[in-house]
């Protein structure tokens, strides 16, 4: 099992660094899945996470100048690692002016992802900083736990408002309540509501637009026969929503959410070369 990768381009490094920062805000521990063409940051929905799950997918070619992987076996050319994403984002944080960053899977005393940053220096030899991030190697028989989640059978799918606006609204609401209700309808309207003994606050968004999903037979309810004004709603943990919004450092190309009434909210944030899906279950 081998893995080595190298980033030389500063813009790619910054981009990758931003991705790891986002993931670090969403999960304390997560699974990193490496394949020949892609990297995935996965959080599967365990009770310990509060039921949230995450699937983040990157095309390695958009970030790395070199990327070599030798998986567990020829027909399973993949590697699954468990790690603390905060370590990875910290290692990359001070590499902003690096000449090169190399990442390699090693096993000196325990399996580690070694991030070696080559920094410019006044002397002839570069300064080298190495960060040994301890990882857990996940054996093949557990790989089924980390399959890509399917898009749920949602009631409403709606584009999100400007994330910056949504973030500042949710941040203020967080001070008043532990849970927030997201509701939206097929007319492009969305409301964020909190209700406590003392106060209830609702923020209304209009003209958001509803993304067109290819209708599969019988799977998604088609627009005809559905009340366009009817709201699908779910009450979710406000902190989880705030973490998702706070972690976004760049505006996504597309941001939408699918609501299954009273069950789950499925967020999809798409950038040019990164896609992030985040599931927040509804509170009982």
Partner 1 sequence: MKCVITGSNVKVLGRAVHSLSRIGDELYLEPTESGLSLRAVNSSRSAFAAFLFAPLFFQLYEAGGRQPDRELLRCKVLMKSFLGIFRSLPSLEKTVGKCLILLKPRASRLVVQLHCKYGVTKTHNLAFQECERLQAVFDTQSCASSLCAPARVLAEAVVHFPQTLAEVTLGAGPGGKISLRNYVEDEAEPTKTMVTELWLAKEEFQTVAVAPGSRITFCLKEFRGLLTFAEASNLPLTIHYDVPGRPVVFTLDDAVLEVHLVLATLSDPESGSQPPTANGVSHLPAPSDDFADDLESYMIAMETSAYEAGSGVPPSPTFPLHTPRPAESDPEEEEEEEEEGAVPGTPPHKKFRSLFFGSVLMPGGPGPAPTQEVLAEDSDGEY
What's the chain's length in residues?
284
Nearer to partner 1, 143 or 213 (CB): 143
Which residue stretches of the chain are H helix?
Answer: 10-26, 85-93, 163-174, 238-246
User: Side by side, which strands form the sheet with 232-237?
Assistant: 200-205, 190-195, 179-184, 232-237
Closest of 91, 18, 90 to residue 56, by C-alpha: 18
Least CB distance from residue 277 to partner 1, whole Å? 22
What is the binding site for partner 1 (CB under 8 A)?
1-2, 29, 72, 82, 84, 87, 90-91, 94, 104-111, 114, 116, 121-125, 127-134, 136-142
Query: How far apart, in Å, are the Cα atoms of 258 and each of 24, 191, 244, 250?
Result: 24, 14, 15, 21
Least CB distance from residue 130 to partner 1, whole Å? 5
Nearer to partner 1, 129 or 169 (CB): 129
Nearer to partner 1, 114 or 167 (CB): 114
Least CB distance from residue 264 to partner 1, whole Å? 24
Nearer to partner 1, 136 or 209 (CB): 136
Least CB distance from residue 50 to partner 1, whole Å? 17
Nearer to partner 1, 31 or 258 (CB): 31
Nearer to partner 1, 137 or 169 (CB): 137
Least CB distance from residue 174 to partner 1, whole Å? 25
Least CB distance from residue 222 to partner 1, whole Å? 42
- Residue 92 and residue 9: Cα distance in Å, rounded? 13
- Residue 122 and residue 281: Cα distance in Å, rounded? 53
The tokens describing 248, both together, are 């976004």
Nearer to partner 1, 74 or 122 (CB): 122
CA angle 278, 154, 277 (to 5 degrees): 15
- Residue 146 and residue 109: Cα distance in Å, rounded? 27
Least CB distance from residue 95 to partner 1, whole Å? 9
Q: Where are the beta strands (DSSP E) in the chain?
A: 2-7, 30-34, 38-43, 53-59, 66-70, 79-83, 100-107, 111-119, 127-134, 136-137, 156-159, 179-184, 190-195, 200-205, 232-237, 254-260, 264-270, 274-281
């Amino acid at each position: 099992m081998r893995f080595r990768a190298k980033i030389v381009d500063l813009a790619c490094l910054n981009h990758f660094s931003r991705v790891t920062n986002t993931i670090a805000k969403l999960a304390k521990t997560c699974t990193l899945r490496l394949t020949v063409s892609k990297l995935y940051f996965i959080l599967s929905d365990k009770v310990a996470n509060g039921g949230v799950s995450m699937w983040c997918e990157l095309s390695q070619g958009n970030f790395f100048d070199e990327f070599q992987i030798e998986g567990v076996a020829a027909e399973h050319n993949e590697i699954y690692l468990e790690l603390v994403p905060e370590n990875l984002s910290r290692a990359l944080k001070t590499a902003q002016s690096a000449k090169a960053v190399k990442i390699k899977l090693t096993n000196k005393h325990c399996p580690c992802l070694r991030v070696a940053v080559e920094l410019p220096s006044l002397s002839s030899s570069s300064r080298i900083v190495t960060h040994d991030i301890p990882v857990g190697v996940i054996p093949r028989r557990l790989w089924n736990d980390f399959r890509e989640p399917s898009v749920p059978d949602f009631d409403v799918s709606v584009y999100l408002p400007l994330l910056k606006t949504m973030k500042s609204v949710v941040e203020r609401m967080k001070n008043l309540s532990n849970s927030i209700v997201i509701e939206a309808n097929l007319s492009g309207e969305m409301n964020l509501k909190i209700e406590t003994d003392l106060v209830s606050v609702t923020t209304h968004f209009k003209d958001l637009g509803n993304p067109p999903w290819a209708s599969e037979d019988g799977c998604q309810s088609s627009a005809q026969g559905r009340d366009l004004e009817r709201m699908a709603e779910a009450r979710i943990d406000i902190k989880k929503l705030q973490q998702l919004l706070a972690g976004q450092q760049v505006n996504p190309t597309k941001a939408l959410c699918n609501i299954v009434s009273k069950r789950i909210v499925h967020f999809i944030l798409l950038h040019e070369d990164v896609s992030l899906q985040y599931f927040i279950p509804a509170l009982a």
